Amino acid sequence: MRIATRESPLAMWQAEHVAGLLAELTERPIIVPMVSSGDVDMRPIDGKRSVGVFTKRIQQGLIDDEGDVAVHSMKDLPTEPHPDLIMVASPDRETVADCLVSPTGLKLDELRQAARVGTGSRRRAAQLKRLRPDLDVQSIRGNVQTRLQKMRDGEFDAIVLAAAGIERLEMHDLPRVELPLEMMLPAPGQGALAIEVRRNDSWASQIVSQINQPRSHACTLAERTMLADLHGGCLAPIAALATIDRSDKLTLKARVLSLDGKVCLEQSASCAIELDSSDWFDSAQELGKRVSETLIEQGARELIEAAR
């Protein structure tokens, strides 16, 4: 079995992680690194070039039979399904938090007035501006190591990174402060992996589906259903997090913001979910749709359109 992946250090870690899971079920897969357009084009991602910049090359690799399995960061995967591919698994989810990284590990309220903060995410930028309107939030591109070097070179006072990436790369000594979820709600699917195979490849589907974790899959399905119904894509300032408690209650909290952070719509809802039955899929989708409908009634579509 061949695993197609981006060749960034984080993507390679993710592919190796999935290979390890699959090695318990079949002969250990081989890794096939590929370069996506998002890895070589360092221009800021905008409305003209946003959907699939990190995933299209990997998906094409499956279609062209360069690989059998594609491993993506869930938050990078477009919500519109590919006609020739199917997502069959999402393993256990890593932490969903975002971290503020600075040379001395400052908290958000400790940053100087008008500090330069780098992020490639409009979701993060809008939530930062909501909390600290004085900040000079600027676009930053590149893998984790590239972004850190730009900060160390003095281009930024701080940057925002996903805690999952920091943990997976074992950068335990990195000076950072985890941003509470009340401050910084994650992107839909953040911290989770999405694993695709060719729709007609029953061999790969049968094996890979065995590493799916319904708890992770149900939560991210609710988040991504909400995102799809809002037609938000991966660019708009939309945040969401679904969780399942000990009583098997699925709760989805979502946030849609204006680019300057001055307007913030929030909505949450819950439903019972039975992970031991096949009904969890429908329950998660219905919850995502319910939250999106309420946000649309509050004016979410207008905010999203203004951000394009």
Structure-derived torsion over alpha carbons of residues 183, 186, 187, 191, reported in degrees to the nearest 10: 160
Beta bridge partners of 8: none
Contact between 58 and 82 under an 8 Å Cβ cutoff? The reply is no
Within 1-160, residue ranges assigned H as helices are 9-22, 37-40, 56-63, 122-131, 144-152
User: Side chain identity at 4, as an amino acid letter?
Assistant: A
> What does the longest C-alpha to C-alpha distance in the chain come to?
57
Cα 24 versus chain centre, distance? 26
Distance CA 240, CA 256 (A): 9
- Determine if residue 286 is left, alpha or beta; phi over 0 gives left, psi from -120 to 50 gives alpha, anything else beta: alpha
Within 4-103, residue ranges assigned H as helices are 9-22, 37-40, 56-63
**Active-site residue, 76 included:** yes
Catalytic residue among 39, 76, 157, 229: 76
Distance CA 85, CA 58 (A): 11
Supply φ then ψ for residue 64, to 5 degrees: -85, 10
**Catalytic positions, please?**
76
